[in-house]
A and B are shown apart, each in its own frame.
Chain A
């Protein structure tokens, strides 16, 4: 493995951490309003990051071309985020501050994120809430009419703003509405049902993209002065994940192949509270919001006899007394209890299930129980309503009412999928792939290693280190899109005010278009025998079994060779029905899975190279005595940024050394 000794420069400003962003903004170059009208920006993806960036760039005066593979910007997968969005507003007066949010995020990310970026994120978090409220986002409020908060994992304050269990939806619809205003003004040209299939680099600068119109199949050239990738994460490399079916890495992978470094691909979040899988036909996994851990208690039976009895249907979970239950998170982490960070909660569930205590037929499920919360709320309500000596059924009814008000839509979703009433019997949950902290490497300006090509939101790697805290993805997406990129992109574009419009007739466009067309032609003409899903499922199984919640050298090496073989077979034996010049879902999937088959291998390679445990990356060789992740700060306090060199196995590693001046590195503890 070749390792470049060159240290990547994040171009992060220096000085006191709380002044860096302001100083940076004061010093970067600006584009004057008249010149902004002469500049085009392409934004790929219209989720929270892409949507908010498109709207803001258009407000500033740039001509924006926005691309979404869905039929409307409103359908981007940010919409599925449930629980909430963090902001250091300190409305609860519980001692929150930008510094504390910064600290929690860096610690939650197991000290593998860039301090300057994270502080900036914490700093602008409060603006996000102000902005969203001004846009008419209906956040939850208390009876005094002020904004309400809830708690999320890994923190000791209440700083999460929410809109029932549909916070992502409401925030995205806010960004979508801001986009609509600009589409109506003609400042955003919206390309729905379009998929970016390559980036065009001219003289070292990103100058456009090749996109396929998913309705007509037409291959289109689009030019711009800068290209922004906001295409989300690559969780679907696991086939089964909480991502949308269409979520893919293609845009990110294409820029990687044209020169953008891919950072920390092995940092993937396995979310602890998802509905367990039920069969091989399953196409996706459904998340149950982390907010449920505010009130739900996680347990498995203490005794193996009860486990067996439950699996065989002889006992019900409600039959077990308190003494017969093992609330293992509360047992192991008394300080944070059920609200430990996601990586910790997921591993703890795996540990119990690996030990044989899983409570469903597959042995991969634990209970999330609301009984004590229902009791607690019921008694509280009875008191408020002045009911003396309330009966047990009264308490349950009142308590269920409160739980329904808080999580009603989640409970309903659970019941529809599992066909069990979670008010009466505990939910069953199990970890599932949810979010990818890794992504395209970007500097402080969110620019990739291709000049003029930017990456924002989940598509970049920047803010969450090795583990993301709950309710921080929405925060980062909107921070990047509303408040960071629109300013930092000006620094780059200020050099482009005399460039004029970019022609799409250049040889670079022709070449990129040709390679896209060649690949499509290959797919529709290949006389293979296996469908795209066949390969995707196989890839997913390798990833889950060998690059999942726990990894070791042997498995990772096997994964690398298996994925490489699978990829070779894919290019021989895949079959794509239909033609290239029509709506063709199989053709779309083929291109995406082809990219996952490369990314998966790089993922395993990165995981193999990182010989430490940190956050979501858990190497079985590196554990503390009590089974916790053991970091190696001396050798691995860096960002692993991979440069494309042909096959994934040839990828070249570049390091960005992480410096911690404002936070002391220490063993993460939630005990």
Chain B
């Protein structure tokens, strides 16, 4: 199939940036979206032009590195996939496809479609862990039975790949689905209880300091999340936050 791509080009963080049109031809419907981008880049290199910079790594939907806003949706029109798993069979011959970087103040553009998501790391550093040192003497893994339902829910929350589609999609650039997922994972497990109160307060504070917006419950993040992280995690975040603040000693 033949397509017209409208791609955001931006040389550097300080550059203004603009949308540029690129035609691509002979695209197989079995290609992944990034393989289509590879074809474009090979053509650009052959013409002596600079290829389009975009983040990608595992190309199997788990590393969370790929991050394009395709035709107005994070990771494109398919559901439950990242951009690298999006296949060209979702498009038609002759389509015009808009390709933009994930946009948020907290995700500044580095180059073209590549953005800086280190704000996510800093949120995790603020409390996304259980304070346990490595030692050969932690108690036996089966010492605390955990109800299967809780373990499964924790796992569902933990499947977040930190791609930032929730932020990119949210009209407010809110990171609450991301934060809610991590807070939920630990809130659901007994190991996480000890630091639960401090964790949620610190992570929310860091999230706010990074310049993410506020959640207004449109639910768009849940729809676009490639891992289907549920909005219930945001509700849990709100509960955890409220009870942490209410019981906080200072």
Check whether chain A touches chain B (CB < 8 angstroms).
yes
Interface residues of A in 99-132 (CB under 8 A from B): 124, 127, 129-132
Are B145 and A586 in contact (CB-based, < 8 A)? Answer: no
Q: How far is the CA of A486 from the CA of B58 in the complex (A)?
A: 29
Are B191 and A170 in contact (CB-based, < 8 A)? Answer: no
Contact with B along A151-186 (1 / 0, CB 8 A): 000000000000110100110010011101101100
Segment with Cβ contacts to A, from B97-105, B114-122, B217-225, B237-245? B114-122
> Residue B179 at the A interface, CB < 8 A?
no
Known contacts A74-B162, A181-B129, A578-B50: A142-B63 contact under CB 8 Å: no
Known contacts A416-B85, A416-B87: A482-B189 contact under CB 8 Å: no
Interface residues of A in 332-378 (CB under 8 A from B): none
**B residues contacting the other copy or chain, number (CB 8 A):** 78
Are A139 and B151 in contact (CB-based, < 8 A)? Answer: yes
> Residue B35 at the A interface, CB < 8 A?
yes
> Residue B125 at the A interface, CB < 8 A?
yes
Segment with Cβ contacts to B, from A2-10, A262-270, A278-286? A278-286
> Residue A620 at the B interface, CB < 8 A?
no
Segment with Cβ contacts to B, from A52-60, A467-475, A605-613, A632-640? A52-60
> Residue B39 at the A interface, CB < 8 A?
yes
Contact with A along B28-43 (1 / 0, CB 8 A): 1011101100110010
> Residue A561 at the B interface, CB < 8 A?
no
Are B124 and A215 in contact (CB-based, < 8 A)? Answer: no
Are A244 and B57 in contact (CB-based, < 8 A)? Answer: yes
Q: Which of B39, B49, B65, B155 contacts A75 (CB 8 A)?
A: B65
Q: How far is the CA of A525 from the CA of B108 in the complex (A)?
A: 30
Are A80 and B60 in contact (CB-based, < 8 A)? Answer: yes
> Residue A140 at the B interface, CB < 8 A?
yes
Residues of B near A283 (CB, < 8 A) are 32, 34-35, 38, 59
Are A164 and B134 in contact (CB-based, < 8 A)? Answer: no
> Residue B61 at the A interface, CB < 8 A?
yes
> Residue A391 at the B interface, CB < 8 A?
no
Interface residues of A in 620-656 (CB under 8 A from B): none
Q: How far is the CA of A279 from the CA of B27 in the complex (A)?
A: 11
> Residue A147 at the B interface, CB < 8 A?
yes
Known contacts A138-B151, A245-B56: A166-B63 contact under CB 8 Å: no
Q: How far is the CA of A244 from the CA of B56 in the complex (A)?
A: 9
Are A134 and B57 in contact (CB-based, < 8 A)? Answer: no
Are A138 and B124 in contact (CB-based, < 8 A)? Answer: no
Interface residues of B in 202-250 (CB under 8 A from A): none
Contact with B along A472-494 (1 / 0, CB 8 A): 00000000001100100000000
Are B161 and A281 in contact (CB-based, < 8 A)? Answer: no
Contact with A along B42-58 (1 / 0, CB 8 A): 10111011110101111
Are A585 and B158 in contact (CB-based, < 8 A)? Answer: no
Are A75 and B64 in contact (CB-based, < 8 A)? Answer: yes
Are A413 and B85 in contact (CB-based, < 8 A)? Answer: yes
Are A56 and B141 in contact (CB-based, < 8 A)? Answer: no
Interface residues of B in 157-197 (CB under 8 A from A): 158-159, 161-162, 185-186, 189, 191-192
Contact with B along A403-438 (1 / 0, CB 8 A): 000000000110011010000000000000000000
> Residue B111 at the A interface, CB < 8 A?
yes
Known contacts A77-B57, A130-B140: A582-B148 contact under CB 8 Å: no
Interface residues of A in 33-76 (CB under 8 A from B): 52, 55-56, 59, 70-76
Are B57 and A59 in contact (CB-based, < 8 A)? Answer: no
Interface residues of B in 82-138 (CB under 8 A from A): 85, 87, 89, 110-111, 114, 116-118, 120-121, 124-126, 128-136, 138
Are A138 and B148 in contact (CB-based, < 8 A)? Answer: no
Are B31 and A279 in contact (CB-based, < 8 A)? Answer: yes
- Majority secondary structure of chain B interface residues (helix, strand, loop or mixed): loop
> Residue B16 at the A interface, CB < 8 A?
no
Whole-angstrom distance between the Cβ of A555 and the nearest chain B Cβ: 29
| Number of A-B residue pairs with CB-CB distance less than 8 Å in the complex they form | 213
CB closest residue in chain B, given A72: B121
CB closest residue in chain B, given A124: B136
Are B121 and A134 in contact (CB-based, < 8 A)? Answer: no
> Residue B81 at the A interface, CB < 8 A?
yes
Are A80 and B118 in contact (CB-based, < 8 A)? Answer: no
> Residue A575 at the B interface, CB < 8 A?
yes
> Residue B74 at the A interface, CB < 8 A?
no
CB closest residue in chain A, given B63: A75
> Residue A79 at the B interface, CB < 8 A?
yes
Are A583 and B114 in contact (CB-based, < 8 A)? Answer: yes
Q: How far is the CA of A151 from the CA of B38 in the complex (A)?
A: 38
Residues of A near B145 (CB, < 8 A) are 141, 144-146
CB closest residue in chain A, given B145: A145
Residues of A near B61 (CB, < 8 A) are 413, 416
Known contacts A136-B186, A177-B124, A419-B89: A145-B147 contact under CB 8 Å: yes
Residues of A near B64 (CB, < 8 A) are 74-75
> Residue A592 at the B interface, CB < 8 A?
no
Residues of B near A91 (CB, < 8 A) are 142
> Residue A577 at the B interface, CB < 8 A?
yes
Q: Which of A140, A170, A180 contacts B121 (CB 8 A)?
A: A180
> Residue B146 at the A interface, CB < 8 A?
yes
> Residue A194 at the B interface, CB < 8 A?
no
Q: Which of A89, A163, A483, A577 contacts B45 (CB 8 A)?
A: A577
Whole-angstrom distance between the Cβ of B200 and the nearest chain A Cβ: 14
CB closest residue in chain B, given A418: B30
Apart from A177-B124, A533-B42, 4 more pairs, CB < 8 Å? A147-B141, A169-B159, A242-B60, A531-B45
User: Which residues on A are within 8 Å of B, measured CB to CB?
Assistant: 52, 55-56, 59, 70-77, 79-80, 89, 91, 124, 127, 129-136, 138-147, 163-164, 166, 169-170, 173, 176-178, 180-181, 183-184, 190, 192, 215, 242, 244-246, 278-279, 281-284, 286-287, 412-413, 416-417, 419, 482-483, 486, 531, 533, 575, 577-578, 582-583, 585-586
What 6 pairs between A and B have smallest CB-CB spacing? Answer: A145-B145, A177-B129, A138-B155, A133-B141, A138-B154, A56-B134
